[in-house]
Chain A
């Protein structure tokens, strides 16, 4: 029982970056831009949070700068796609590659290090955890929901908030319209490009938060293998959830569970085998894709399936 509770608790912890990135990503998905940059932006977010914390000694400033950097990079993506009409897939992949080259370069150039940047002297991950005495008294749920970081709690609030924004506000409606029928939006004077810029900015901020969660809250340091495909997992969560906020975040939770399971199993096996368990979240993602897509294909009456 304790194992299960711990696992569920860890699921919440592991799911936080997914939830954050997914709920922001839903906006960029719904506004009609193919967005492959989550991976790169999250890397930038994680790195710049630690970098600026390191440089200034102020963790909060580092977090703020992480958001600024992510926004800036995302705006490069946005202008290449929206203003220069670049192929969004290639621009997105290029941004990811840039992240994986600029970050090691800066590490090397500024600190003469490679692989990681430690800031545990500034940040104590253990102190990030909020213990709610009130929750302690509730059985099961208390054990699962207690002892998480601020962003974890915030992520649940944000999921609810952004769902309302997407469905109930003017901006949210415009985002959906831009994705569904650009021409209709343009014909009525909705500035599609501006809406898309804003939607992408939202996604950037949330990616930054995900990065901060990974680097600042969980570890107190940046490492090169930190993001490790999380961005792409978020992308597939959004694909599985068809861009619907609640559904997509549910898939985010699922992948968080796979990640938590991976970590928990690791402690029972040898180090070598443990490294193999690392494929678990990816395999979970592939299986989920198959399960969500299969019924759709079965219902499709077209014989020769376009692929």
Chain B
């Protein structure tokens, strides 16, 4: 009974913020002269209730799953890696470079190399805040956010400068066809990228729940003093967590380029950015790998469903960002805390009731 109530509470604490955020979004939509119910229904319909939509939803979800998972590891290890955005850019850019500069490789090899390159570059970009945190105790929140600006500026510069391809449109050369991730079904946009995302999901789940590494990550995340006192090398682990997290973000960037854009354009990670979307997914998924994947798919659906809002209803797509950012705001508090007095009273009542039943039964 206790457990059920607690579980219910957890669900409630996720559903309520979602509702609150949708309500805020509805107000904005209303203010702009559209009917919120119709807008939301249209989002749902286009995202889920037809194969094309479902395929696009998964395409949108693919990078979110990965940027979410990159934060699952980071958050559970007590590392506030807010630099997913920058790591994503770095991964995406250099995967693209490898994608167009090398030709003549068999597709599987070329794709794999590009993806690896993305992961490595993401990890390397994460190395800066990782070193600063592990060796100089510099708060990674600030450094990673700042490095996002730096990464985006650098990628912008490289795209406009050394790797400039077209003067009308800010982008690099397209990658060689051998580097592209293959489409799964002809006529649908879904690519093999989704399998990469899911594979990362399985990997993270096993890592976090079944291995000594995951055990150490959790321990460090909960209590560093304890972890170091029992002999875990906190500094080394922190570095590993950071690099792994950065690698996943970089991989997300590479995947997105190789499956959707096929060339690097600085605007590929639109406002608020795939890294931040990942954070919403993690908060919605409660730092668990499975929850995060589910939340990322939901968010992907929402994002895809809202693409056509401007055309259909004449409301700015920013409405969706309002919903998303207020969702994050509401998720950051727990509407009902497990140890609040009301809940305690409810728990007490529940236990006496079951107790009575037992007595009656006996």
The residues of A with any CB-CB pair to B shorter than 8 Å are 36, 76, 80, 84-87, 89-91, 93-95, 97-98, 100-102, 104-105, 108-109, 228-229, 232-233, 235-236, 239, 272-273, 275-276, 278-279, 282-283, 285-286, 289-290, 293-294, 296-297, 304-307
Contact = CB atoms under 8 A, between A and B. Distances in A.
Contact of A89 (B134, B141, B235): B141
B316 interface: yes
B21 to A, nearest CB: 10
A279 B146 CA distance: 9
Contact of A289 (B132, B228, B271): B132
B95 interface: no
A86 B111 CA distance: 43
Interface residues of B, number: 58
Contacts of B139: 239
Given A91-B329, A95-B329, A98-B329, A109 B154 contact: no
Contacts of A283: 150
Interface string B311-347: 0000110110110111011011111010000000000
A232 B138 contact: no
Nearest to A102: B322
A286 B235 contact: no
B32 A305 contact: no
B326 A282 contact: no
A87 B332 contact: yes
Q: Name the residue in B328, B333, B334 with the highest tally of chain A Cβ atoms < 10 Å from its Cβ.
A: B333
A275 B150 CA distance: 11
A302 to B, nearest CB: 9
Contact of A232 (B31, B145, B233): B145
A36 B331 CA distance: 17
Closest 9 CB pairs of A and B: A101-B321, A86-B333, A90-B332, A108-B316, A97-B325, A105-B318, A94-B329, A94-B328, A84-B333
B283 interface: yes
Q: Is the interface of B mostly helix, strand, loop or mixed?
A: helix
A282 to B, nearest CB: 5
Given A229-B145, A229-B146, A307 B318 contact: no
B93 to A, nearest CB: 14
A97 B233 contact: no
B322 A98 contact: yes
B191 interface: no
A105 B28 contact: yes
Contacts of A307: 133-134, 137, 224, 234-235, 238
A133 B135 CA distance: 52
9 contacts: A97-B324, A276-B157, A282-B146, A282-B147, A296-B137, A297-B135, A307-B234, A307-B235, A307-B238
A294 B136 CA distance: 6
B17 to A, nearest CB: 11
A229 B324 CA distance: 21
B355 interface: no
Given A105-B28, A286-B143, A294-B136, 16 more contacts: A80-B329, A86-B333, A87-B332, A91-B333, A95-B329, A97-B328, A100-B271, A101-B321, A101-B325, A102-B318, A109-B316, A272-B164, A276-B153, A276-B157, A304-B228, A306-B224
Point out which of A95, A236, A272, A307 has the most chain B C-beta atoms below 10 A from its C-beta.
A307
Contacts of A94: 325-326, 328-329, 332
Contacts of B276: 97
B100 interface: no
B319 A105 contact: yes
A239 B149 CA distance: 19
Contacts of B136: 289-290, 293-294, 297
B146 to A, nearest CB: 5
A290 B143 CA distance: 11
B146 A285 contact: yes
A89 B135 contact: no
Contacts of B149: 228-229, 279, 282
A279 B335 CA distance: 40
Given A90-B283, A109-B32, A272-B157, A232 B146 contact: yes
B146 A105 contact: no
Contacts of B334: 84-86
